[in-house]
Every structure is written in structure tokens, then in C-alpha cells.
Structure 1
Amino acid sequence: MGLTPPFYAYIALGSNIGDRERFLLQAIRQLDAQGSIKVSAQSNIYETEPVGVTDQDSFLNMVIEVVTTLEPLELLQVMQSVEQSLGRTREVRWGPRTIDLDLLLFEDIRLSEPQLTLPHPRMMERAFVLVPLAEIVQSHHSQQSAEWTALAERFNGKEGITLWKRT
């Protein structure tokens, strides 16, 4: 990779089965409990309409910023382990799930591997990703704030995304 740790990464979280908020918070706790990952910021929680398969319950979504010593594929493995521990099954693409963790950005890395593409290939199309991501960038990274805020404003209040809970 050519970079030296620690690395900054952004992870989107979503849940639409059971106690949605509890699944989000458990995923954050499990990630933060890893010695190689520290959650450094988190967005508010948003309720959003499902995308893709629309005949399912609404999602709770948020984004977290982590500082990690792991490489991107190693971080992805930890994320998938957390999903599995919280009962995630992959039966229907974009279907209902207890927890979904998507690696959005990892430093300025561009990566195209069978198991991971960075930046996340569909993040710029999704209000449920851009709105909470812009929230974190605004509060923690002022030099990038204007660009992300402009992107998020295109979606805010549209596409079925509403603030559910301030964190």
C-alpha cells in the first residue's frame, strides 16, 4: 500500500431486522473492542426506505470513522466477522439483514479486488450513506467539508431518509 498506519476508514452500518438500533450499537462496540480498530467518530442515526428489494422494513443507517492499523482486506475480514456474530445471513442481495457493514473509504486508496472495491462503488448514489458521511466529515475534516456537504445536500430530505436519533 505504501502508507504507514494508523489509517482512517469510513464504514456504513445498516439494520432492518429486530432491534435495529441495538444491532448498530453492538457492531460499533465489537469493532471498537478490536485492538487494531478504534471508532473515532459516528454520525447520527437515520431511518431510510429500503433500496433494491423494497418489500421489507425500513433501515436504520449511520456511518462511523475508524482509525486502524489493519490493511483494507484485513479490516473487511473483521467487519464480516462482526456481521456473522450478529446473525447476518446473505440470502437475498439487498434483502433484510440484522446488520450490514460496508467499507466506504480507506484513506485515499483506490482498490479493485474481487472481494472489495474502494471507494465503495455505489456510495455516491445513496443518501443513506452520503448524508451521515458528510456529517462526520463536516465535524472532523474541515478541508474536505464543502465537497461532502454539497453532495449530501442533493439528497438530504429526499429519497426517504429522515433523522431518527441524534448520537
Structure 2
Amino acid sequence: MTRRFPPFPHDAPPPAAHPPVDAVVALGANLGDRGATIAAAVEELGQLPLVDAVRAAPAIESVAVKREGPDAAAPAYLNTVAIVTTRLAPSVLLSYLRAIENRHGRERHERWGDRTLDLDLITYGDVRTHDPVLTLPHPRAAERTFVLGPWLALDPDAEIPGAGRVDALLHELEGRP
């Protein structure tokens, strides 16, 4: 027996949307026209579906960090952070970040290698998860001045869930030899 449902009324209100969440996205590039690539990526973030706003900090230059540590001989990075107000699920946002990287020629030959564009999802509201595909907050965010500095410039009250206030984390890192 086939059950028939009444048609969806066209004048009914849309289903309730998920409330917007602020997600922090770190952007970095050390190959090609770094500034133009980062600017284009920020613009693309603002064009994603279910993204209500994007605020980006001024970019800073930093030494490349390789598996062995800082590498002054490698091309320097240009880094910034964007706060993306979105209703996308974290996994969906991550897939869009990967698509943006790919459009800008990102190749994944080696972990911690040079790249035309690197987009990392740092936090998604106060979500904490450890998954093979997506760990939130980003496991190394609290160790990276090139993430914390620009983020603090955008949000003086920023916090990494489970790690603490960004200003305190940055102060601790800057005090190390």
C-alpha cells in the first residue's frame, strides 16, 4: 500500500535553521602570490552557502614550520585568521575549505610541506571532537603564534575550548626563548 502525503504548503514558514556559529579558520600560503591567494580565499569563504559573515585579520609574515621545526631557508608564510559566522556543519565547512585549497593549486605531497594555500579549521564554536578527519579545536592551534596573533587582533576575548584564552596562550608562547 502506498501512502500519500499532502503536498508541502508553499506559504508555510521554512524549517528552522541551525543557529549561526563562529568558526575560526587559519589561512596560510608560502608559494606564489601569497597576498592575492589569501585575499581570494577570504572572499570565497564569504560566498559559501550558509555563511553569514567573514571577518579577516591583517596578514602577518612568519617563518615556515616543518616537521623538524622552524625552517628559515624555506619560503616565508603569509598567515591570517578569519572568523566565519556560519550555519554549515563543521564537516561540511571542512569540505568547502579543502575545495578552496584545491582551486588554488594545493598539492598534498608531503605533510608540513610548502603550499599555495593552507586552510585549517581551528575552532567551531565550543565544539570539541577527536575524529580521524576533523579534530576540534585544532590540536596545534595553541602552539602557533601565527594563528593566535591574528585571531587576537579580531577578537580580544577569544578562547580555545579546553586550552584557554588566546591572549594568555600567546603571552606564554612569546615569553619562551
**TM-score, normalised via structure 1 length:** 0.83
3-state SS of paired residue (1:105): strand
CA contact (8 A) 2:25 2:122 kept: yes
Does residue 11 (structure 1) correspond to residue 25 (structure 2)? The answer is: yes
Q: Number of matched residues?
A: 153
Residues 72-102 of structure 1: per-residue CA shift (max 9 Å, x gap): 0000000000000110000111111010000
Select 2:90's aligned residue among 65, 72, 78. Answer: 72
2:169 corresponds to which residue?
Answer: 151
- The structure with the largest helix share of the pair is 1
Runs of 4+ in 1 over 4 A off after TM superposition: 156-159
Structure-2 separation of matches of 1:116 and 1:38: 22
Does residue 30 (structure 1) correspond to residue 44 (structure 2)? The answer is: yes
Q: Tell me by how many angstroms 1:52 deviates.
A: 1.4
Say which one has the larger Rg: 2
- Cα RMSD, aligned residues only: 2.2
Between 83-92 and 40-49, report the one with greater CA deviation: 40-49
2:150 corresponds to which residue?
Answer: 132
Bigger relative contact order, structure 1 or 2, given CA contacts below 8 A and separation 6+?
Answer: 1
Superposition pairs for residues 86-105 of structure 1, below 5 Å? 86-105=104-123
Report the residue type matching 2:104 in the other structure. L
**TM-score, normalised via structure 2 length:** 0.79
- Listed as ranges, the gaps of 5+ residues in structure 1 are 160-167
3-state SS of paired residue (1:51): strand
2:9 corresponds to which residue?
Answer: none
Structure-1 separation of matches of 2:74 and 2:113: 7
Does residue 44 (structure 1) correspond to residue 58 (structure 2)? The answer is: yes
CA contact (8 A) 2:45 2:54 kept: no
| Shift in CA distance, 73/117, structure 1 to aligned 2, threshold 3 Å | same
Q: Tell me by how many angstroms 1:157 deviates.
A: 9.3
Q: Tell me by how many angstroms 1:143 deviates.
A: 7.9
Q: Tell me by how many angstroms 1:71 deviates.
A: 0.4
3-state SS of paired residue (1:88): coil
| Shift in CA distance, 102/143, structure 1 to aligned 2, threshold 3 Å | closer
2:129 corresponds to which residue?
Answer: 111
Q: Tell me by how many angstroms 1:40 deviates.
A: 3.0
- Listed as ranges, the gaps of 5+ residues in structure 2 are 1-16
